[in-house]
Amino acid sequence: MLQLLPTGGEDLTSWIFQFLFLLFIILFSLYSQRFQLWIWINQIKASLLQLKQMDVQGRRIVIHMIKELGKPDFDPTQRVDELRETFFIDPVDKDPVGVLKRLEHLLDIMKENSTFNVKQLAPKASSEVLANIENTLEASMALYQIYRIIRHYFLLGKRNNNIFFIAQIQMQLPQIMKIAKAYFQALRAFADGIPIGDSIGPLVVSLLEWKHASCDNLEVIKTPARDIYASKFKIKNREVFILRATGPGGRVGKPGEAVFCLVKNNPNIKRIVTVDAALKLEGEKTGSIAEGIGAAIGDPGPEKYKIEQIATQTNIPLDAVIVKQSIEEAVTPMRKEIFSSAEKVVSKLEHIIETRVKENEGILIAGIGNSGGIGYPLKCGGSNE
């Protein structure tokens, strides 16, 4: 430190340099947090601009889609903006009795409202296109929500010079941006009707039907569950029931309710298998398959509860087959690795049917997930439209 002090015989330049250097140390020790805050604020600002850009572009895609495919006789812009502000209030859970029924009721109302509103916006669109518009609008709403929340905390932190707010956003920013980018790509996929990673469940059960059902073997079953397709066919003298969301428009339906009804009405069903996309842990391979016990379904609760309830009531084993993928891969167009895993899951299901179900007994296989871009393997004529 003593070396920093000027010694006799040095010129003015050394003095100035030394003064500047000491000034820098003093400034940095007093205002280092401010400098840090400044850098973080600018980093968040850059990301916020990107979020805004994605939100604006997403909104534009939705409006364009409605105008092009729905052909409304009015400008849908204002109504789309209103719908993007829609919110959902969770049911009170301080008294947990009947919370799932109340949640299901609210979710049903939300779905009905959403379908009704989209139908009003796009009166000339087919039911499949309407389902895709609904999904696209939901993705746009998710992007808008992310943008608004980040903007809220950013402005709050900036206004109050609160480093804690800013630091929290800055540290979570890479993850948030990853999710936002995934939602934007999901929005594009929904708009075009491209299957997403989550569509693996419907794809697998449809492949199973494609492989084993024939015109004299296939029976389409009507269920009271909303947006659900169910059918029955035989594999090696075992009755195989399959169910999935109706397609090729993007829907998830109510698979829990469908499983409940099918098992209740068909006492021959002796096993339930759910097939779904599941979140992989970091380092795990995309598209890898795992088998386990329980209901593989990522709903807010009511559907999973119904599957578990009927399985427990009837004492039926509940198996799950999952295809691993990250959250980004689950909502973006289906990767080739995930698509390739569908055949392997079908082989696994065939093995389960052969080894765990006796002859003349039934098994129910539920393909859980968004059915966007997945039609029906109708080999006996008919149309997917």
Partner 1 sequence: MNKTEIFTFKWFLLPLTAITITGAILMSFGLIQLLTFGLAYILFFFAYLFTATSKSSKADLSITAPAFRIEVLVKCTHCDYKEVKKFTPGDYVFKKLETCKQCNEGTLYIAGIYGIPLYPTEEESDV
Interface contacts to partner 1, rule CB under 8 A: 3-4, 7, 10, 14, 17-18, 20-21, 24, 35, 38-39, 42-43, 45-47, 49-50, 52-54, 57, 181, 184-185, 188-189, 192-195, 203, 206, 210, 247-248, 282-283, 326, 332-336, 338-339, 342, 373-379, 384
Token look-up 């992007």 returns 143
Determine which helix (DSSP H) or strand (DSSP E) holds 242, and give its type and residue range. strand 238-245
CB of 205 to partner 1, least distance (A): 12
Q: How far is the CB of 277 from partner 1 (least distance, A)?
A: 14
- Cβ-contact 80, 121 below 8 angstroms: yes
Q: How far is the CA of 244 from the CAs of 201, 206, 276, in angstroms?
A: 8, 8, 11
The CB-of-262 to partner 1 minimum distance in angstroms stands at 22
Rounded to a whole number of angstroms, the minimum distance from the CB of residue 294 to partner 1 is 27
Nearer to partner 1, 195 or 362 (CB): 195
Please state, as a whole number, how many other Cβ atoms lie within 10 Å of the Cβ of residue 19. 11
Q: Would you state the structure tokens that stand for residue 94, as one six-digit string?
A: 């301080």
Complex with partner 1: residue 7 or 78, whichever CB lies closer: 7
Q: Minimum Å distance from CB 99 to partner 1?
A: 37
**Is the CB of 253 or the CB of 333 nearer to partner 1?**
333
Task: Determine the Cα–Cα distance for residues 153 and 44; give it in Å rounded to an integer.
Answer: 10
If DSSP states are collapsed to H, E and C, what string results for 81-124? Answer: HHHCCCCCCCCCCCCCCCHHHHHHHHHHHHHHHHHHHHHHHCCC
20 versus 110: smaller Cβ distance to partner 1: 20
Q: Residue 272 Cβ, how far from partner 1 at the closest point, in Å? A: 25
Reduced to 3 states, what is the DSSP secondary structure of residue 245?
strand
Q: How far is the CB of 53 from partner 1 (least distance, A)?
A: 5
Supply 209's token pair. Answer: 């039907």
Q: Are 271 and 356 in contact (CB under 8 A)?
A: yes
Cβ nearer to partner 1, comparing 21 with 116: 21
User: For residues 76 and 197, which CB has a smaller minimum distance to partner 1 in the complex?
Assistant: 197
Tell me how crowded residue 284 is: count the other CB atoms within 10 A of its CB. Answer: 13
- Torsion sign over Cα 68, 69, 75, 76: negative
Closer of 42 and 113 to partner 1 (Cβ): 42
